[in-house]
Amino acid sequence: MVSSTKGLMLPQMGCGTWAWGNRLLWGYDQSMDAQLQQVFDLCVANGVTLFDTGDSYGTGKLNGQSEKLLGKFEREYQGINKEQICLATKLAAYPWRLTPKSMVKAGLASIQRMGRVDLAQMHWSTANYFPWQEWQLLDGLADLYEQGLIKGVGLSNYGTKRLRQVHQKFSDRHIPIATLQVQYSLLSTYPVTELNLKETCDELGIKLIAYSPLCLGILSGKYNEPSNYPKGLRGLLFKRLVPEAKPLLDCVKAIALSRNKTMAQVAINWCIAKGAMPIPGAKNIQQAQDNIAAKNWLLDAGEIAELDCAGAGINQSMVQNIFQSK
């Protein structure tokens, strides 16, 4: 199932590539590249054709690595659905990017690394600390679109109030906003339940994208015991969240068993059922296959209600992105 939004081909589900180049949080190593290319090929062949990256993805000497890998994989892919591939990147609101030209320059750098950019997104709003900077960068994003360098513009980590302001700004230049992505999962419902972003996006004709739909892997059910928590920063988060989330995880597991699905598939499908496009990440073929099997079916209303109820009873939810605006 592919929908067309403002000239872009948007699938039911995409693939997030934060881990492709990130050593600090995800343990990336360049020896993984061949496997990541297999992940890319498998996703495209199965209709997962939007790949989301960012010009800040990749740590240290690997800065921009995720974009470089995506560009390489797209060029070398020769299978089905190639014409539907949507390469999406997010341009960071770095403090040294202060003018529209700096944003255009950033977009051109991403295009050079990837070969092309279909969807360019503002990675986060500076409304909470440098509101004047944001308008300059948004003008640059609009310039990229007007100059025909990208097919569409999107936003990331925006709340309803700021979204409406930016929508008006772009409307004045006759530029549609195609997408808005926020952290949205069974353990992070704040953007929708508190900020009413889904209703606002529907009103404005914007597709809502759900990043981290598995809450960094917690909702996959693979990390039930402290002994198998991931190391580093993720492990610290899991130590706080997993015990609190047990009633929800038990609910996800019960539905997964009754459906003959995995917990990850249930959690991802919940996002789809809510009208969002989830973009779970995948570092290997098994994860990609698991993600792919989450689409082309839907949880029923009773199952969704059970999950919503279980999620609402959790006292500790996922930490919100510090750049999420109101």
Catalytic residues: 57
With vertex at residue 171, the alpha carbon angle to CA 168 and CA 173, rounded to the nearest 5 degrees, is 125
Cβ–Cβ < 8 Å for 295, 266: no
First and final C-alpha spacing in the chain: 32
- Token pair 């996006």 is at which residue? 201
Cβ–Cβ < 8 Å for 6, 176: yes
- Alpha-carbon gap, residue 219 to 215, rounded angstroms: 6
User: 294 by DSSP, 3-state: which?
Assistant: coil
User: 251 by DSSP, 3-state: which?
Assistant: helix
Alpha-carbon distances of 78 from 84, 91, 149, rounded to whole Å: 12, 28, 24
- Alpha-carbon gap, residue 113 to 250, rounded angstroms: 43
Radius of gyration of the CA atoms of the chain, in A:
19
User: 96 by DSSP, 3-state: which?
Assistant: coil
Cβ–Cβ < 8 Å for 120, 107: yes
> Checking DSSP bridges between strand 119-122 and strand 86-91, what pairing results, if any?
parallel
Q: At what angle do helices 160-172 and 131-146 cross, to 10 degrees?
A: 40
Alpha-carbon distances of 278 from 113, 184, 241, 319, rounded to whole Å: 25, 8, 21, 18
- Alpha-carbon gap, residue 92 to 106, rounded angstroms: 9
Task: Report which DSSP code applies to 22.
Answer: -
- Alpha-carbon gap, residue 136 to 133, rounded angstroms: 5
